[in-house]
Structure 1
């Protein structure tokens, strides 16, 4: 006796059950199995490691379930101590999985050496650009009277004048003397006659003048005006003492400009009395 054929209703029920089973399997695979097997959705934010010392990295990253590897190349920045992190990849705030390796570049223990360029007589702006290109830093800027506005008059490292071509560490600070553009201001030249050299230099400095050439002669006359008993102005000539200024150019009451060089004539002394000529630097 043959079995009865299943009806259409039962067929649809079987098909529906099979479909539900398939959907259930897919949901299980995508929402349960795959997330568990791949840690899908379990990500973390990469911390900023810049400036952290190498000796502190192990503990810092272990607490965050991350690892690191030091790149063979190093860099240098004066901002950080030796063996501090300069760069990292992935970058800070990137999303990564736990256990991800972070590649880091360390700050060199010794700064590389660069050669000091000649920056005198160029503008402060151009000097800054050259410093930046060499990895050098702008230090103090001191203005002094000179015709050339913002022009470099002197370059210094650690308080001493530095010559072009001198080797200095990258990241060093360079100080500048810069013209303030006041050289066009004029005034009546003061009388420096009968002053010692250091006194004359001190007075000139106060007026923004520079020391030019110094000439020593065996004798000299100081010419000055004097009022007599009748109130008349007379000219008198006196012998200048050794070591005293008896003439200067420009002379008294002539027009001088800030930043101008002043030449002096002095009565010479014997060799045991002549001091080294001071400067206005």
Structure 2
């Protein structure tokens, strides 16, 4: 009993020191011995990437890594994986978690959900691709057919048959497209534009239901300019005309096809015409 007897200030200080030491000892033992042994403090596991693993294999896979799992009622769908394959997880791959942590999984559904078929007709192929992706559908084969609407969707097909917009089909289905190639079925005779200037030749070609293809110079420009630049910057006494075309005027082509033309200055042709006229005049004078 003498241990707890307080007879002086010294005894009080000794008692306080003993209480303080006991308190510190208890705290150290609690935080550095008890808690680590009961909560596995400092022992973490890196969450693996589970996407693409089948549900049948996940139990053994996570057990080896001291983790558990729970399958969520919600599911997704993609044609990339088989049914009951993991699509998403939480916590995310690479996260640090304690051992025996539960990983929540979202599986690929057995039956794909139904989505409405969008209306792709009269739109461009590029637009059709974007719309199909937004609906969870895939673009199948593209078949080009003669039509003036270039790269425009003319028909949309599912499993080889026409499908109307608004029809419900499985998500992930492939949609085939029938697309115009910019050319029609009508066969035209190629107009003869030889001897015409560029503006007139283009007017005749386009007016005939055809397209102007490449515009070239018969002889390369020393300054490296293209045909249009040469024509635009030609001197007042220089007139460039068509001296060659491909396809030629004897050919027949489908509507919408391109006609390439070659230009050359008319000066040489005019000189030759003048020479011929002078020769004819001299011949007449000699005869007289």
The reply to whether TM is greater than 0.5 is: yes
Would you say 1:56 and 2:53 are equivalent positions?
no
Q: Which residue of 1 aligns with 2:117?
A: 116
Q: 1:189 to 1:160 in 2, by over 3 A?
A: farther
Would you say 1:35 and 2:32 are equivalent positions?
no
CA contact (8 A) 2:182 2:256 kept: no
User: Equivalents in 1 of 2:41, 2:121: separation in Å?
Assistant: 62
Q: Which residue of 2 aligns with 1:150?
A: 151
CA contact (8 A) 1:189 1:253 kept: yes
CA contact (8 A) 1:146 1:258 kept: no
Which blocks of at least 5 consecutive residues in structure 1 are unaligned? Answer: 191-208, 210-251, 261-281
User: Where in structure 2 are the equivalents of 1:53-202 lying within 5 Å?
Assistant: 53-143=54-144, 146-181=147-182, 188=189
Which blocks of at least 5 consecutive residues in structure 2 are unaligned? Answer: 192-209, 211-248, 258-288
User: Equivalents in 2 of 1:253, 1:116: separation in Å?
Assistant: 48
Secondary structure at 2:157's aligned position in 1? strand
Secondary structure at 1:135's aligned position in 2? coil
Q: 1:55 to 1:189 in 2, by over 3 A?
A: same
Instruction: With the length of structure 2 as denominator, give the TM-score of the two structures.
Output: 0.55
User: Equivalents in 2 of 1:19, 1:167: separation in Å?
Assistant: 76
Instruction: With the length of structure 1 as denominator, give the TM-score of the two structures.
Output: 0.57
Secondary structure at 1:132's aligned position in 2? helix
Secondary structure at 1:74's aligned position in 2? strand
User: Equivalents in 1 of 2:110, 2:12: separation in Å?
Assistant: 79
| Greater per-residue helix proportion | 2
Q: Specify which of 246, 254, 258 is matched with residue 255 of structure 2.
A: 258
Greater mean alpha carbon deviation, residues 89-98 or residues 14-23: 14-23
RMSD over equivalenced CA pairs, Å: 3.6
* Equivalences, count: 195
